[in-house]
Amino acid sequence: MPDYTSLEITTLIVHEVPSRSRDVNEVAPTLSEAESPMTREVRNFFEERLRATLSEAAFAAVADEDTDSPIPALVDGLLNGDEDLVVPSQRMATRLFDVQTGVNSPGLIAVARGTLDGRAMLAVIKLEKEHGVRVRPEEIDGLRTLSVEHIRDLMLTEKTRVFKTGLFWAGDDGTEIVVCDYQRQVTHTVAGFFLRDFLGCDLATRADVDTRTFMQAVEWWINRDVESPEDRSAYSVALISEMNSQRTTVTPSAFASTHLKVKHRKSFLEALSAADAPTKRFVKDTALVESQLRRIRYDVDTGAAVIAPPDTIGDSVRVVSHGDGRTQIQVDGRLQRVQGKRR
């Protein structure tokens, strides 16, 4: 992943994309005919939002070779010397309008040009605004565009927090892509209409491999860096709970904030990074770790082991630290069977 700190925007154009109604002819995108005037405030606002969201929740993506979306070709042109931003961005807005249905929120599409790590960069951002917020176009030299005042209004409201982004930049081996669908408190993948139908892309990584790497790295970290037996047990339960949850993605930083003590969070992310495990949001697929999600195993140095279902930990199975390095694992229940270990 690139260093988003270096992300800088130089030019920006914003178009309005309304919601589709049954009678398509009645609505159409409001297309700007000139780049939006950009004050330092507007520029900083977009840069801040992009850096914050991408650094937390971006997925690597690749262009779909069979797509009928014009976006990959338009992006390639803009990254490789096309000077005019207006017409390509209008075509992008039109494409977004075409692939949206009545269930998609109305909003604005912002296309920003700039640099990332010193290389040409293009960001395609869908800002979803609340119903009833009107766009006020203004004219500059006879050309229609969005006013700075309006963009400032958007910046000052919480209504624009939800947005989807495709970020493209010139890499060593062609165009690099990350995509992000950012909603506070919600973890989900990138909406299909935005990723595939609009951007003409698909996710680049294998979710099952990412999930297994993440889980192995977390278990390794728990056993190496977490001293307290109670914390180790609680974190293991949290990991399995996260893997078994209905959420389709895992955000490591959110996992840390939710389940780990503050003093452990930083070393947790560092351990993920050291193990080449995902440190940013990734799609979850537990196919390769399914068997590990049903039981938690505790091994102690005397050779004894306790195996328990995760939902019994803290209830009928309790882990107690004695402070002198010894740990007691208490198991309550009716003994049903005793047998030698089978291979």
Q: What angle do CA 14, 17, 22 make, to 5 degrees?
A: 170
Question: Does the protein bind other proteins through residue 48 (CB under 8 A)?
Answer: yes
Question: Should residue 45 be labelled a site residue for other proteins when binding is judged by CB under 8 A?
Answer: yes
Q: Which is nearer to other proteins, 44 or 80 (CB)?
A: 44
3-state secondary structure of 188: coil
Asked if 266 touches other proteins (CB under 8 A), the answer is yes
Strands 143-146 and 201-203: unpaired
Please tell me whether residue 54 binds other proteins under the rule CB under 8 A: yes
Task: Among 167, 239, 256, 308, indicate the residue that binds other proteins (CB under 8 A).
Answer: 256
Nearest residue to 67 via CA among 193, 205, 182, 171: 193
Q: Following DSSP, what letter does each residue of 146-214 receive, concatenated?
A: E-HHHHHHHHTSGGG--EEEEEEEEETTEEEEEEEEEBTTB-----HIIIIIIT-EEE-S-HHHHHHHH
Q: Which is nearer to other proteins, 40 or 224 (CB)?
A: 40
Residues found in the chain: 343
H or E element at residue 101: none
For residue 185, state whether it binds other proteins (rule: CB under 8 A): no
User: Binding to other proteins (CB under 8 A): which residues in 55-74?
Assistant: 55-56
182 belongs to the binding site for other proteins (CB under 8 A):
no
Q: Cβ-count burial of 5 within 10 angstroms (0-12 exposed, 13-18 middle, 19+ buried)?
A: exposed
Give the DSSP H or E segment for 6: none
Q: Given candidates 11, 21, 28, 41, which one binds other proteins under the rule CB under 8 A? A: 41
Please tell me whether residue 49 binds other proteins under the rule CB under 8 A.
yes
> Which residue, 91 or 265, has its beta carbon nearer to other proteins?
265
Our finding on whether 39 is near other proteins (CB under 8 A) is yes
Give residues with Cβ within 8 angstroms of 262, minimum separation 6. none
Give helix 262-274 / helix 207-225 axis angle, nearest 10°: 130
The region of 155-163, 192-200, 228-236, 239-247 touching other proteins under the rule CB under 8 A is: 155-163
Closest distance of CB 183 from other proteins, Å: 14
Rule CB under 8 A: say whether 113 interacts with other proteins.
Answer: no
| Tokens read off for 307 | 């195996």
Q: Quick one: tokens of 255?
A: 């996992």
Q: Candidates 33-41, 70-78, 143-151, 311-319: pick the segment binding other proteins (CB under 8 A).
A: 33-41
Should residue 40 be labelled a site residue for other proteins when binding is judged by CB under 8 A?
yes
Give the one residue of 10, 11, 21, 44 binding other proteins; rule: CB under 8 A: 44
Site residues (CB under 8 A) for other proteins?
3-5, 39-41, 43-45, 47-52, 54-56, 155-156, 158, 253, 256-257, 262, 265-266, 269
